[in-house]
């Protein structure tokens, strides 16, 4: 039985999916891969089915429900399947699966959450315009201050979790999406006392397809982080 389940959420990622899955299989050949497709109109789901084998399975959802819901569905499968670790990775090729062995090793060594971090020494971003970098850096800095977090890249989407740690943070009550989902989950783990380690990665902007980032995701993150920070501050004063 594999110990690691790698969850790959997809929506219109037909151009990049096969290559990403092949790279995951090469990096962690003993791991299992779960592709979670939100009824992509470009045929990503059908492509995913063609890739399925003893190590690769596909979860088809009826419509576009968001990144957070996709990962929660993947986590549920990981818990039900008895895996010890579960990984998040983008389907667009921006995360290098070659980093997975090192990230998994940190989890095996005791980390509850390993974050592939762009904003620590050794981390980097390639092919991002300055505005996108500024938004990411500002969002991380804002979240750290409001949430009193020590995580340098709290919005990062390349992660390895220890299943037992995920089970301790009431996943059924997580409702955020996009960047905000990543912030909420990492913050919950941090507040629970989980051991969190950041591993430097190089993030490469997608070469094919369109980014899923939009103003609504940024706005949701800003509003939710502000609310969480203010609420936590008030509770601390009481």
DSSP state of 173: G
Task: Give the pLDDT confidence of 76-90 residue by residue, as tens digits.
Answer: 999 999 999 999 999
Dihedral sign, CA of 128, 130, 131, 136? positive
Task: Give the pLDDT confidence of 168-223 residue by residue, as tens digits.
Answer: 998 988 878 767 899 999 999 999 999 999 999 999 986 665 555 555 666 666 77
Q: Which domains does the chain have, with CATH numbers?
A: 4-237 (3.90.550.10)
Are 175 and 79 in contact by the 8 Å Cβ rule? The answer is: no
Query: How far are the Cα atoms of 158, 159, 179 from residue 148, in angstroms, in the given order?
Result: 22, 21, 18
DSSP codes of every residue in 28-55: STTSEEEEEE---TTSHHHHHHHH-SSS
CA atoms within 13 A on the CB side of 78: 33
Task: Assign 229 a pLDDT band (cuts: 50, 70, 90).
Answer: confident
Length of the chain: 238
Per mean pLDDT, which range of 12-26, 108-122, 195-209 is the poorest?
195-209
Query: Would the pTM of this model clear 0.75, i.e. be above it?
Result: yes
């Amino acid at each position: 039985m594999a110990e690691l389940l790698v969850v790959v959420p997809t929506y219109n990622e037909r151009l990049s999916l096969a290559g990403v899955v092949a790279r995951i299989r090469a990096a962690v050949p003993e791991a299992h891969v779960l592709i979670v497709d939100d009824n992509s109109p470009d045929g990503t789901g059908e492509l995913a089915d063609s890739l399925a084998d003893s190590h690769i399975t596909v979860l088809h959802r009826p419509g576009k429900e968001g990144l957070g819901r996709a990962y929660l569905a993947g986590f549920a499968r990981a818990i039900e399947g008895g895996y010890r670790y579960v990984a998040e990775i983008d389907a667009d090729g921006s995360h290098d699966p070659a980093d997975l062995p090192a990230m998994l090793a940190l989890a095996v060594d005791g980390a509850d959450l390993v974050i592939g971090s762009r904003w620590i020494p050794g981390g980097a971003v390639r092919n991002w315009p300055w505005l996108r970098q500024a938004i990411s850096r500002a969002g991380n800095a804002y979240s750290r201050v409001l949430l009193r977090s020590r995580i340098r890249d709290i919005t990062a989407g390349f992660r390895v979790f220890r299943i037992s740690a995920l089970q301790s943070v009431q996943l059924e009550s997580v409702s955020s999406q996009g960047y905000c989902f990543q912030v909420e989950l990492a913050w919950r783990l941090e507040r629970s006392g989980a051991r969190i380690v950041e591993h430097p990665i190089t993030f490469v902007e997608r070469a094919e397809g369109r980014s899923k980032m939009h103003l609504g995701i940024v706005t949701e993150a800003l509003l939710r982080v502000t609310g969480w920070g203010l609420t936590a501050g008030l509770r601390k004063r009481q």
